[in-house]
């Protein structure tokens, strides 16, 4: 069973739903709802990044996992955080630039999630098989 892949893959889906809610509200001009939904999405993303950066990635590297893909994921997290900051600014200004920035973030997230779900998480499940339950419990505690 692919425990880490399933757990973090389902978290990707949860984040995607929160993003879609925020984007739909902003694009319809419902700025108050967009703000609430975006705050939830931003919090979900922060938690997801923490689960990976504070728990999964160090565990992978300690198990002699591939450092290159981990480094790429960290760089992409930084890129997504920058886009999240831009979205927050656009939302605060109630700017229609939100849509373009959101489209960019969506593309980056889709590509990033695909790499994690098809490459990194399966590697983690193999290398960390005996520690999967403990790693997931630590991620759930964040």
CATH number, domain of 31, equals: 1.20.120.520
Res 63: pLDDT:
96
- Total count of domains within the chain: 1
In the numeric block, which tokens belong to residue 61? 């590297």
Res 69: pLDDT:
94
Give the separation between CA 67 and CA 57, rounded to whole angstroms: 9
Res 129: pLDDT:
95
Give the separation between CA 57 and CA 127, rounded to whole angstroms: 12
| CB-CB contact of 135 with 4 (8 Å) | yes
Domain span at residue 121?
3-140
Give the separation between CA 64 and CA 66, rounded to whole angstroms: 7
Res 24: pLDDT:
96
Per-residue pLDDT of the chain (142 residues; tens, 9 = 90+): 479 999 999 999 999 999 999 999 999 999 999 999 999 999 999 999 999 999 999 999 999 999 999 999 999 999 999 999 999 999 999 999 999 999 999 999 999 999 999 999 999 999 999 999 999 999 999 9
pTM for this prediction: 0.94
């Amino acid at each position: 069973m692919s425990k880490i892949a399933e757990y973090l893959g389902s978290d990707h889906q949860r984040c995607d739903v929160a993003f879609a809610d925020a984007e739909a509200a902003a694009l319809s001009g419902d700025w108050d709802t967009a703000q609430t939904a975006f705050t939830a999405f931003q919090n979900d993303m922060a938690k997801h990044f923490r689960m990976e950066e504070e728990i999964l990635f160090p565990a992978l590297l300690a198990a002699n996992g591939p450092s290159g893909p981990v480094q790429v994921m960290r760089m992409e997290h930084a890129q997504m955080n920058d886009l999240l900051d831009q979205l927050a600014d656009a939302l605060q200004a109630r700017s229609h630039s939100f849509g373009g920035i959101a489209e960019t973030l969506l593309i980056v997230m889709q590509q990033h999630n695909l790499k994690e779900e098809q490459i990194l998480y399966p590697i983690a499940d193999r290398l960390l098989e005996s520690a999967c339950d403990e790693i997931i419990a630590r991620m759930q505690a964040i």
